[in-house]
A and B are shown apart, each in its own frame.
Chain A
Amino acid sequence: MLAQDAVAPAVSSPAVAEASAVSCRNVSMRFVTDRRTVTALENISFSVERGGFLSLLGPSGCGKSTLLRVVADLIAPTTGQVSVFGMSPQEARQKRSLGFVFQDAALLPWRTALQNVELPAEVGGFAGLPSGAPTPRELLKLVGLEGWEGNFPHELSGGMRQRVSIARALLGGPRLLLMDEPFGALDEITRDRLNEELRRIWQETGTTILFVTHSVYEAMYLGEEVLVMSANPGRVREIVPIDLPRGRDLSIRETEPFIRIAAKLRNLLGRGVQ
């Protein structure tokens, strides 16, 4: 009886973690420099369900990108636990469960669009595409770049480069897509179009997405939930569910519920800045 009691939580807790795509518990991150110690993240706790879309919204320097890098196993948190599909971030990375889209597309300039999408299949002991998974060509088609396979990055516009990098992140069908302000450097028209397409890709692939942005509109248009952060130190201010229809187009930004939630988010952000 006693032994069972002791065992029960140990069995059930991975099962709980397994239910969510990403879960962070009390994650803190401190950087020590010569001049001072910076607390980039303090006691961050949240979870995202499988197939969810969470936007991380906050002012510059609030640690949103740091948080994304902790989940991607690019940096280790000072304290706290992170689990990705019930695994440690390191295991998740090694199993290719996650794809990362960077702020600048980070394409290799000596590779064509297609060769860039193929890169993940050439390194890190890639096990081969699962049967039925989209090929690099199909992924380029998915992001609307059919016919551009043979072009080098310098021949593509900023928006097209970012589409290639999304296709690359999707190769091998990662279950989690981490996006670090991917559209931040694009003009508004391109950005709107890519926002629409990202929603579509999310619905078509069923991938869980964590999306870092400092645009209120982008965060709410894309996300099913928005995690609002405050800076110095980086903390979770509130997790706001976005009660908008699943099938959205950009015109939703002119509707009353959208404007109401936007006002709420902006209010939260305003209080986050001291």
Chain B
Amino acid sequence: MTVSDLAPDLSIDIAAAEAAYHRARQREVWRRRLLPAVGIGAALLIWAALVYLLKVPPFIAPSPLLVVQTLYLKFDVLMLNLVPTAIEAISGFLLGNLTAILIATVFVHKKTMEEAFFPVVVVVNTIPVVAKAPILVLLLGNGMEPKIAIAALICFFPTLVNMVRGLESVNPQAMELMRVLSASKREVFFKLRLYNSLPYLFSALKIAASTAVIGAIVGEWIGSTYGIGALIIQAMYNFDSAMLYATVIVGSAFSVTFFLVISFAERLVVRWQAPAAH
């Protein structure tokens, strides 16, 4: 047998192997799409079955169907209350993260500042949100300001820590390169540190996207008549469990959307990282 006798067999084998590989991949793709849907569907079914079988009264827990109905019937009220919460969460997100980025920039250039003030930041961060909220309401009154402040504070810490790390964890040889090139501090910042910090920044922003919404809602729990937070408290006192669940769903849908927007922005901005580097 010569090599040329073997060759046709080999190419058939390769084609078959490739076809098998593509089939396996296709199956894998469908599995990944279907299984989460199956899981969520099953959870809803169990929920509905439990409420029906145990005859849970609607003021304790609603059936999924009742929640869907409420979502549909009370859509206007829900959206009306989502707007202020969204404004607070987004403003707090912007304020908290911008401040964190600015302070991180100062810390990286003035080590003394970092050494003096970082402990203060850590101490403030150890106060739980529910404890910070009343303090801020007293300080800032009953409008949107304290809610924005709470959302900002809650975003601030993770971003500050990550940003400082991102700006500082530059490849030491890249730093030496910049020195060999006699680059100024400003050039090192804009050509090296800032880019280096972007992956770190985005992982903090993704955390902040959901925590900013939590901050705004917690702020609304304390003396507010509007917003998702206020609606949750109202529904609870009225034993309107369907409304409570519907409100929670609207709030978390907003959180998820916010998170997805940031993830999308990350994919647009941070294009250079090899998949293996994650």
Contact surface of A with B, Cβ cutoff 8 Å: 69, 72-74, 93-94, 96, 98-100, 102-104, 106, 108-111, 119-120, 122-125, 152-155
Contact A102 B173 (CB under 8 A): yes
Q: Which residue of A lies closest to B276 (CB)?
A: A154
Number of A-B contacts (CB under 8 A): 70
Contact A123 B178 (CB under 8 A): yes
Contact B272 A124 (CB under 8 A): no
Cα(A125)–Cα(B181), bound, Å: 9
- Interface presence of B35 (CB below 8 A): no
User: Cβ of A154: which chain B residues have Cβ within 8 Å of it?
Assistant: 272-274, 276-277
Distance in Å from the Cβ of B175 to the closest Cβ of chain A? 9
- The secondary structure that dominates the B interface is helix
Contact B181 A108 (CB under 8 A): no
User: Cβ of B176: which chain A residues have Cβ within 8 Å of it?
Assistant: 69, 72, 74, 100, 102, 106
Distance in Å from the Cβ of A193 to the closest Cβ of chain B? 23
**In the complex, which of the residues B179, B184, B195, B273 contacts A108, with contact meaning CB atoms closer than 8 Å?**
B195
Cα(A106)–Cα(B198), bound, Å: 18
Cα(A83)–Cα(B209), bound, Å: 55
- Interface presence of B28 (CB below 8 A): no
Contact B180 A98 (CB under 8 A): yes
Q: Which residue of A lies closest to B195 (CB)?
A: A110
User: Cβ of B257: which chain A residues have Cβ within 8 Å of it?
Assistant: none
Contact surface of B with A, Cβ cutoff 8 Å: 171, 173-174, 176-184, 187, 191-192, 195, 198, 271-274, 276-277
**In the complex, which of the residues B173, B181, B198, B272 contacts A123, with contact meaning CB atoms closer than 8 Å?**
B181
User: Cβ of B273: which chain A residues have Cβ within 8 Å of it?
Assistant: 109, 154
17 contacts between A and B (CB under 8 A): A72-B176, A93-B180, A99-B180, A100-B180, A102-B176, A103-B173, A104-B173, A106-B171, A108-B195, A109-B274, A109-B277, A110-B195, A119-B181, A120-B181, A123-B184, A123-B191, A152-B272
User: Cβ of A153: which chain B residues have Cβ within 8 Å of it?
Assistant: 272
Contact B182 A125 (CB under 8 A): yes
Distance in Å from the Cβ of B200 to the closest Cβ of chain A? 13
Cα(A268)–Cα(B203), bound, Å: 53
Cα(A104)–Cα(B181), bound, Å: 17
Contact B182 A94 (CB under 8 A): yes
Given contacts A108-B192, A124-B184, 14 further A-B contacts (CB under 8 A): A72-B180, A74-B179, A93-B180, A94-B182, A106-B173, A106-B176, A106-B177, A108-B174, A122-B191, A123-B178, A123-B181, A154-B272, A154-B276, A155-B274
